[in-house]
Structure 1
Amino acid sequence: MGMRRATLRIRGKVQGVFFRESTRIEATRLGLTGWVRNHEDGSVEALAEGEPAALEEFIRWCHRGTQAARVTDVERSDSEPSGEFRTFIVERMS
């Protein structure tokens, strides 16, 4: 199977709990590329590309997050992968 792409909006207590950096570490461990960033509304957005099994494991992780996080909702949107990313980074707030 080919690469897949998912964009996630994660809500709950997900800012100020090391969520973005932990997300970057998990995505990198799984071999995914893309980015993660905070939003002014208190949510976190992540865009990830990679192998389907790794992407699904990453999405399951995002439903849990860090030990200090309290994820209440994860919205998912799938799209065609672009291959534009070389690594997974933490972006500045949008």
Structure 2
Amino acid sequence: MKNSCVRAYVTGKVQGVWYRRSTQEQALKQGITGYAKNLPDGRVEVLMFGPSETVSALSEWLWKGPDGARVTHVTFEVLDGHHAPDHFSTY
């Protein structure tokens, strides 16, 4: 099973609606490591590392997010040679 590392930037109403914590819960269910953190410009940055299939599934979930979120745009960047984090954190 091939691993992949993807960084996503999520735009919309994604701060103050439990977006980071919900992303962490989804990641932990799927065995993905990385992080979700708020950015000063109102976006959320998400780093996902794990099996390609589960990273893809979490990437799709990012478009929905938790109740209360309104995602308007998500951009993805595939990272090669990135160090795999040991856990999934929120900042």
Please state which band the TM-score falls in when normalised by the shorter chain: over 0.9
Match of 1:87 in 2: 87
Runs of at least 4 residues off by over 4 Å: none
Please tell me whether the aligned partners of residues 49 and 84 of structure 2 are also in contact (alpha carbons under 8 angstroms): no
- Do residues 34 (structure 1) and 18 (structure 2) align? no
**Structure 2: which amino acid aligns with 1:32?**
I
Q: CA shift at 1:83, angstroms?
A: 4.1
Q: Secondary structure of 1:55's match?
A: helix
CA distance in structure 2 between the partners assigned to 1:85 and 1:21 by the alignment: 17
Check conservation: 1:49, 1:81, Cα contact below 8 A: no
- State the identity as a percent: 32
Note the 1:2-17 alignment, pairs <5 A: 2-17=2-17
CA RMSD of aligned residues (A): 1.0
CA–CA distance in structure 1, aligned partners of residues 84 and 9 of structure 2: 20
Question: Match for residue 74 of structure 1?
Answer: 74
Q: Where does the alignment leave 5 or more consecutive residues of structure 2 unmatched?
A: none
TM-score by length of 1: 0.92
Paired letter, 2:66: T
* Residues 36 and 44, structure 1, Cα contact 8 Å, conserved in 2: yes
Query: Which residues of structure 1 form unaligned runs of 5+?
Result: none
Using the TM superposition, give the Cα deviation of residue 49 of structure 1 relative to its aligned residue in structure 2, in angstroms. 0.3
Alpha-carbon distance in structure 1 between the residues aligned to 2:4 and 2:43: 23
Matched residue of 2:24: which SS? helix
Output the CA distance in 2 between the equivalents of 1:22 and 1:55.
Answer: 15
